[in-house]
Amino acid sequence: MNGDMFRENPVEQDPSSELLSAMARDLPAGRHQFHKERLMAQIHEMRQEEQKETAQTPHVTPRRFRLPRPAIVLPALSVVLAGAVFAGLAASTGAQNEDGGVATGPVLTTQIGPASTEGVPRLLDQIALAAAATAPRAVKPGQYIYIESKTATTYVRTVDGKASVASDELHRRQVWESPDGTKGWLIDPAVNDSPEGETLSLPDEQGNTPKAYLNNPSYDYLTQLPTDPDTLLTKIYDETEGMGNSPDQQAFTTIGDLLGESYPPAELSAALFKAAAKIPGVVIVQDAVDAANRTGVAVARLDETSGRRDEWIFDPKNHDFLGRRTVQVRENTTGEDALIKPGTVVFTSAVIDRAIVDDIKSTPDRND
């Protein structure tokens, strides 16, 4: 298996979304998303605290998010927290390179391929069978999961009070992570303009060593997830309740994240595809192109609220997972997002390599 993201504004405008847009629009694209994900982790912690008080469930603290994904819808309870966090972030990051170390290129566009529900169960069953037939190496303590991808994001930026749409140039992203998720490294010029990258090792900036959970898993966490598709899907719906624009869209997005910048065991990968077949609204899109310009067949779902379609792209012959993209397929009239026109590729990522290595910053060529 090879492989590697968009929550949008709900139908009734979430006040936290407006606040985030106002406070963070001038951040570089990569840092903007990086901080949004950290905020999402804090909101997850708040929700876990509420569950602990009402149902006596164990507290789960957040890990540091490192998936490159587009905008995240935040629940209404986050509005006060969002203001506090992003006010500080905007002040602390204002001196950074405007584009986070990645040049701004032309807006990424594509022809919008037609979608069909015909053959969805059969295709996902074939993909699940192919995934189950793989035999990924077990990751040993002291080793690291290495994932290299090619990626870019399209976003609305404001310069001198004027909003416009811009896209990152396609660029290389490299991630290393230990099996337990406590050690890691990231090199991504959209997140950190240093060519050396930055540490992902815990404890985090606050001195915490949080645990893995569904929306930011470690390899060890993935090995503990249920592999029965129905049980797995129920867990996904339960743990993402209140996130995204709809339960079905959020479940689809969560599965896509798990297939991306992680190293799921073969049995779990197969279960994820079988679970995806049970989500209403899943379609097939032919001739989808990933960030490495590879053409494949996509399993996709349209977010009716944002007008954006999440696409998982697979090799049409061997069903390997090639990558993922998000395409604007319908007009969005909400705020500045109206500037992003149908046919825009909002996010794209192609997994170039996924392997086990022995050291941070080492690559498969030096280990195999």
pLDDT at 89 over 60: no
CA 367 centroid distance within chain: 28
CA distance 84 to 90: 10
Helices (H) and strands (E) in the chain, counts: 8, 12
Using pLDDT thresholds of 50, 70 and 90, give the confidence band for residue 92. Answer: very low
Looking at residue 221, what is its pLDDT? Answer: 96
186: in domain? yes
Within a domain: 6:
no
> Quick one: what percent of the chain has pLDDT higher than 70?
72
In a domain, 41, yes or no: yes
Amino acid symbol at 92: S
Position 1 in a domain:
no
DSSP string, 30-44: HHHHHHHHHHHHHHH
CA distances to 271, 298, 348 from 278, in Å: 11, 16, 25
Nearest-angstrom CA–CA distance, 170 and 153: 8
**pLDDT reported for residue 68:** 53
pLDDT of residue 342: 97
In a domain, 7, yes or no: no
Give the model confidence (pLDDT) of 174-219 as tens digits. Answer: 999 999 999 999 999 999 888 999 999 988 778 888 889 998 899 9
pTM, rounded to two decimals? 0.76
| Model confidence pLDDT, tens digit, residues 350-364 | 999 999 999 999 999
- Asked if the structure places residue 118 within a domain, the reply is yes
For residue 9, tell me if it sits in a domain.
no
- What pLDDT does residue 193 have? 85
Task: Express each pLDDT in 27-82 by its tens digit.
Answer: 444 444 444 444 444 444 555 554 444 444 433 333 334 445 554 333 333 333 33
Pairwise CA distance, residues 258 & 222, whole Å: 9
Give me the mean pLDDT over the 241-251 stretch.
Answer: 95
79 DSSP 8-state letter: H
Q: What is the largest distance, in Å, between two alpha-carbon atoms of the chain?
A: 54
pLDDT higher than threshold 50 for residue 248: yes
How much is the average pLDDT of 105-113? 93
Q: Provide the residue range defining the domain that includes 98.
A: 15-366
Total tally of structural domains belonging to the chain: 1
- Helical (H) or strand (E) element with 301: strand 295-303
By mean pLDDT, which of 32-46, 103-117, 325-339 is the weakest? Answer: 32-46
For the stretch 125-162, pLDDT in tens is 999 999 999 877 889 889 999 999 999 999 999 889 99
Q: Which amino acid is at 226?
A: P
Would residue 308 count as lying in a domain? Answer: yes
Helices 229-239 and 266-276: crossing angle in degrees, nearest 10, is: 70
- Specify the pLDDT at position 65: 40
The more confident residue out of 5 and 283 is 283
